[in-house]
C-alpha cells in the first residue's frame, strides 16, 4: 500500500516537473501560426506585379494565416530603402515574427532551383528554430524545381504559358538564372523533360549552363527561323529586360538576331502566371501541413 502511494507520488511529481519544463520552453505561449514568403527581390517597379500575384494567391489559399515577406538580396534591399521602402531580410523578418509571438512558421522559398539562395535561407531558418524561447517550429517549402514531379508540373506550366501566336515550327527559348551550385543541373533536366512534350522548347541560363551558345547550336540544328524569348525567373527584372531582351550587343535577342533568327521577347516572370504560382503554393501547403503535424523542427 505504502509502496503504491509512493509510486503515485513519484509519478505525480514527474508529471508536474514535465509540465513545468514544457512551460519553461515555450509551452505557455499560445500557438500562433504564420507564413513567411522569401524572394530574391527586384528593384524594378514593373516587376512588382509578380510578387503581388504570389501574395494574392497565398492569401487566398491561407485565408486566416498572417503572411509576411522577406527578400534575400542585400543590394535590392538597399536600393529599395533609398526609395523609402523598407524590406526585411530573412533574419529581420524572423526576428519580428519571434517578437510578435509566432510559434509555428512555414517559410516558403520563391526561388526557382534549390541553389545557394535556398541553402542560405534554410540555414537562417534553422538557426532561428534553435533559439531559446524562439519560434518553436519552422518548416521549409521547396522552391519551384525540387523533384521529378516538379519537372513534370513545371513543364506543363511552360507549355501552357507559351504565347498562343507561336507556331509549331517556331522555338521558345527560356532564360533561367543559372548558378555554380550543383542544383543548376535542373535547367538541363527541365529542357529534357519539356522536350518530350514539345521538341522546340529550350532552356538556357545567364549565369550557368546550358549557355546561350549551346542553345544557338541546337536552334540551328533544328533549322528554326523564329524564336520566342521568355524569362524563366519569377520576375521579369534586370536579366530579362537587359540580358535577354535588351539592345546591348551581347543580349540573347541581339545575339540570336545577328545569327539570323527572328526574335520576339515576352517580358513576364513565371510568378505572373497562375500556372507556376500554383506549384509554389502547393509546396507551401506541404510545408504548412508538416507544421500542423510536428512539434519539432523540420528542414528539407
> Which residues does the annotation mark as catalytic?
177
Backbone dihedral region for residue 4 (phi beyond 0: left; psi -120 to 50: alpha; all else: beta): alpha
Retrieve residue 55's grid coordinates: 501574395
Task: With beta carbons less than 8 A apart as the criterion, state whether 155 and 174 touch.
Answer: no
Residue linked to cell 535577354 = 244
Q: Minimal CA–CA distance to 155: which of 118, 192, 183?
A: 192
> Does residue 210 have a cis peptide bond before it, meaning omega lies within 30 degrees of 0?
yes
Going 289 to 294 to 297 to 298, the CA torsion angle's sign is negative
Q: Which residue has the cell 531559446?
A: 132
Q: How far is CA 140 from CA 72, 118, 195, 287, in A?
A: 15, 10, 30, 6
Enter the C-alpha cell of residue 153.
508540373
Give the 3-state secondary structure of residue 33: strand
- Residue 260: count of CB within 10 angstroms of its CB: 10
- Please tell me the number of Cα atoms within 13 Å of 228 on its side-chain side: 21
Amino acid at each position: 500500500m505504502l509502496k503504491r502511494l509512493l509510486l503515485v507520488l513519484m509519478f505525480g511529481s514527474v508529471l508536474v516537473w514535465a509540465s513545468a519544463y514544457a512551460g519553461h520552453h515555450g509551452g505557455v505561449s499560445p500557438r500562433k501560426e504564420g507564413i513567411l514568403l522569401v524572394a530574391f527581390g527586384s528593384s524594378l517597379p514593373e516587376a512588382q506585379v509578380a510578387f503581388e500575384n504570389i501574395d494574392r494567391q497565398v492569401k487566398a489559399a491561407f485565408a486566416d494565416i498572417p503572411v509576411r515577406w522577406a527578400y534575400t538580396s542585400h543590394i535590392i534591399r538597399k536600393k529599395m530603402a533609398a526609395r523609402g521602402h523598407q524590406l526585411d531580410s530573412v533574419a529581420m523578418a524572423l526576428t519580428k515574427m519571434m517578437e510578435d509571438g509566432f510559434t509555428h512558421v512555414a517559410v516558403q522559398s520563391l526561388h526557382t532551383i534549390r541553389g545557394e539562395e535556398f541553402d542560405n535561407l534554410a540555414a537562417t531558418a534553422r538557426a532561428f528554430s534553435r533559439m531559446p524561447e524562439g519560434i518553436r517550429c519552422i518548416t521549409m517549402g521547396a522552391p519551384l524545381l525540387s523533384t521529378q514531379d516538379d519537372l513534370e508540373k513545371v513543364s506543363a506550366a511552360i507549355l501552357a504559358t507559351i504565347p498562343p501566336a507561336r507556331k509549331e515550327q517556331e522555338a521558345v527559348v527560356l532564360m533561367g538564372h543559372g548558378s555554380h551550385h550543383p542544383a543548376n543541373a535542373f535547367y538541363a533536366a527541365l529542357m529534357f523533360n519539356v522536350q518530350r512534350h514539345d521538341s522546340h522548347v529550350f532552356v538556357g541560363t545567364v549565369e550557368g549552363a546550358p549557355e546561350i551558345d549551346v542553345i544557338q547550336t541546337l536552334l540551328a540544328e533544328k533549322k528554326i527561323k523564329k524564336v520566342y524569348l521568355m524569362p524563366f525567373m519569377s520576375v521579369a527584372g534586370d536579366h530579362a529586360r537587359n540580358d535577354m531582351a535588351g539592345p546591348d550587343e551581347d543580349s540573347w535577342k541581339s545575339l540570336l538576331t545577328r545569327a539570323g533568327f527572328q526574335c520576339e521577347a515576352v517580358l513576364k516572370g513565371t510568378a505572373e502566371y497562375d500556372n507556376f504560382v500554383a506549384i509554389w503554393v502547393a509546396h507551401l501547403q506541404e510545408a504548412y501541413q508538416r507544421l500542423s503535424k510536428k512539434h519539432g523542427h523540420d528542414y528539407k
